[in-house]
Chains A and B, each alone.
Chain A
Amino acid sequence: MTPARQVDVRGPRFGAWITTVVLAVVLLTGSGWLLAVQAVVFAVGAFAGLRYAPYGVLFRVLVAPRLGPATEREDEAPPRFAQLVGFGLALVGTLGYLAGAPLVGAVATGLALVAALLNAAAGFCLGCELYLLARRARPAVRP
């Protein structure tokens, strides 16, 4: 049996704060390229794993040593799924901005910002909670 990969709970929260700030700057500047960078950050966390997520690395190298050892750890799957949701929104937003539909870009970025801010400030993972609603809406894949 391989144990599920665990992360310090403070890591994803820290990352969510940075994400919130980056997305706010995207909205204020209307920069599709900055959003593209954030989309890549999401993609690394979602597809390669949180150990490689840029903000997670930043947390481990710069922040965690100053905070002391982790008191609480959690399974990687929920925050990783959240990164995937963020990636989807950032991808739509980037395409919107770069294809000349700034409203699409702004709305997708705004939705991602709501999710990131709720995660950062309240520890609430919107994508994780909506996962079941999305699954419910479709017929079951398995018999």
Chain B
Amino acid sequence: MDATGALVLGLALLVAGVAAWWLRTRSGAVRTTGAGVSELEVLRSLGVRPEDADLTVVQFATAFCAPCRATKARLEQLRTSHPGLAAVHVDAESQLEAVRALDVRRTPTLFYLDRSGALLGRSSGAPRPDELRALVAAHAPATGAV
């Protein structure tokens, strides 16, 4: 039995446990951020036009990101029942300048903009389905909703 190895194994299990807990509590949660003027400028430079929809969701994704694909599918599905929702998908790898300017560290990272261009919040990791649905329902009501 290798004592150093056993110690590293214990540490690895501890790190994995803490990381799993952190992901469970933080990942995907929508955070509100400070004044979003510069964020809006960067997003506009990527062709995002918040005035065209009640709620614009911008997703930064990479080819190696499985949750990005699931999130994209979820957004497309929500768009069928919420016509005021627009989804923009940005290939993070080809927009590294914007990635740095917006401090995008993980994929998927999502930005939520209302029609006035105000940044409602951002989230990293696949958004939680309930939270995403509630956010979309609050800003881009479903067809037929009063």
Contacts and interface: CB of A to CB of B under 8 A. Distances in A.
Interface in B66-107: 66, 69, 92-94, 96-97, 99-100, 104-107
Contacts of A30: 2, 4-5
A27 B2 contact: yes
Nearest to B1: A28
Interface residue tally on A, bucketed by range: 35 or more
Interface residue tally on B, bucketed by range: 20 to 34
A79 B138 CA distance: 35
Secondary structure type dominating chain A contacts: helix
Secondary structure type dominating chain B contacts: helix
A122 interface: yes
B136 to A, nearest CB: 23
A29 B6 CA distance: 9
Contact of A132 (B15, B20, B105): B105
A106 interface: yes
Interface stretch (A36-44, A48-56, A59-67, A70-78): A70-78
Nearest to A135: B93
